[in-house]
Amino acid sequence: MDFIPINVPAMGEEEKKAALSVIESGLLTDSSYEGGKWVKSFERKMRDLLNVKHVIAVNSGTAALHAALLAAGVGPGDEVLVPSFTFVATANVVLACGAKPVFVDTKGDYNIDPALLRGAMTKRTKAVIPVHLYGYPADMDEIREAATRKSVRVIEDAAESLGAEYRGRQTGSLSEEGCFSMYATKVATSGEGGAVSTDDDELADRVRLVRNHGMVHGYDTRHLGFNYRLPEMAAAIASVQMDRLPQFLKKRASNVKFLRERLTSVPGATFTQDAGDRTHSNYLHTLFLRRNRDKVLAKLNAAGIGAAVYFKTPVHRTPLYAKLGYAKELRQTQSASEHVLSLPVHPKLGEEEMDRVARGFVAAADGLL
């Protein structure tokens, strides 16, 4: 029986054709301030989707976050509010700027709790990074309101939420800067890749500078920068994936609908990301299991179903952050890390496979929840 992975890239003839055309052109990258033909094509499609003024392609979601923070002027002495229930990159980029991550607990939907922001702010707080976890939009209006009162910047980590909407607007377009990842497992991918979106001309200019060693014309470094350029081959694949994104999202949504209908009767397994004012990218379909999460996970994996846990260890509990002295109790974060389980819903899964996932879950959960 074939193993059903949690996420796989959906690549086809169009991606092959675009990648091959880059090889044949000999123009594998473009170190100009604006970037190459395919970088521009990917950026234009992202801009159109997000309805923003600027998109700057970079070579990872991590680079996007780092560039966004540097462009916003985050540096030594600053504090940045972040969730701990996220991928470690969200906090690592704060450290990379010489600033201090301050961890804030999450809500039942696994996103940062806006009610806790005010209490976590100090005179040194420079920014807050809400993460749209699993592709489900955070409470952006409340977050923005708490931040604006204290002149704190909001920078979205939309690495998992490409295509998700909050109150009719795309995630990543709801704050000063939005940061995306095109990593191999994401809803649209170029293997590695990322982007920063913004409506602010000056921030866009600075992100472009960070992308390319702070240079405009070459060897005229005017800002701290790195090589965060997206290669043309990856940009070509990313550009094609943007065309296919609506179909990917539709198929993910229908796979989730199928699962939810089949699993409603399983007691002790709850889906908590379904407020009516926002849509989900369904990057991960995640359930809260009342008990025995690891036993259910082991049974699913043994049955060839690639269920997975994101994230077993909250960032502030990882060895690096423990060494840095983070020991705070974050009750919701801890509980989520002990109870969540994600099931495969990626667009390459047809009805037969989704049926296997549903049956597999019911069987694995039997007597355990």
Name the phi and psi angles at 135, rounded to 5. 100, 10
Does 183 participate in binding ligand PLP (rule CB under 6 A)?
yes
Which residue stretch of 12-20, 58-66, 166-174, 229-237 sits at the interface with ligand PLP (rule: CB under 6 A)?
58-66
Does 134 participate in binding ligand PLP (rule CB under 6 A)?
no
Which residue stretch of 25-33, 60-68, 274-282, 292-300 sits at the interface with ligand PLP (rule: CB under 6 A)?
60-68
Number of residues that bind ligand PLP (CB under 6 A): 14
How far apart are CB 202 and ligand PLP at their closest, in Å?
24
Does 160 participate in binding ligand PLP (rule CB under 6 A)?
yes
Does 35 participate in binding ligand PLP (rule CB under 6 A)?
no
Q: Which long-range contacts (CB under 8 A, 24 or more apart) does 202-208 make?
A: 203/54, 203/68, 203/71, 203/72, 203/176, 203/177, 204/53, 204/54, 204/56, 206/70, 206/71, 207/54, 207/56, 207/58, 207/67, 207/68, 207/71, 207/177, 208/33, 208/34, 208/56
Give the E-state strand segments of the chain in sequence order: 54-58, 79-83, 100-104, 125-128, 153-157, 165-166, 169-170, 177-181, 194-198, 269-270, 285-289, 340-343
How far apart are CB 82 and ligand PLP at their closest, in Å?
10
112/305 with CB nearer ligand PLP:
112
109/157 with CB nearer ligand PLP:
157
Does 178 participate in binding ligand PLP (rule CB under 6 A)?
no
Residue nearest to ligand PLP (CB): 61
Does 62 participate in binding ligand PLP (rule CB under 6 A)?
yes
What residues from 190 to 219 belong to the interface with ligand PLP (CB under 6 A)? 194
Query: Measured on CA atoms in the order 218, 222, 228, 230, is the torsion positive or negative?
Result: negative
Name the phi and psi angles at 127, rounded to 5. -155, 160
Helix (H, G, I), strand (E, B) or coil at 99: coil
Does 121 participate in binding ligand PLP (rule CB under 6 A)?
no
59/364 with CB nearer ligand PLP:
59
63/289 with CB nearer ligand PLP:
63
CA 188/CA 266 separation, integer angstroms: 31
The CA-CA-CA angle for residues 120, 122, 125, to 5°, reads 90
How far apart are CB 110 and ligand PLP at their closest, in Å?
11
Chain CA centroid to CA 362, Å: 29
Does 60 participate in binding ligand PLP (rule CB under 6 A)?
yes
Does 181 participate in binding ligand PLP (rule CB under 6 A)?
yes
How far apart are CB 160 and ligand PLP at their closest, in Å?
5
CA dihedral 249, 278, 107, 287 (to 10 degrees): -40
60/125 with CB nearer ligand PLP:
60
Helix axes 351-365 and 232-263, enclosed angle (nearest 10): 50
Site string for ligand PLP, 79-98 (x = CB under 6 A): -------xx-xx--------
Does 171 participate in binding ligand PLP (rule CB under 6 A)?
no
The CA-CA-CA angle for residues 50, 55, 61, to 5°, reads 95
Q: Footprint of ligand PLP on this chain (CB under 6 A)? A: 60-62, 86-87, 89-90, 131, 157, 159-160, 181, 183, 194
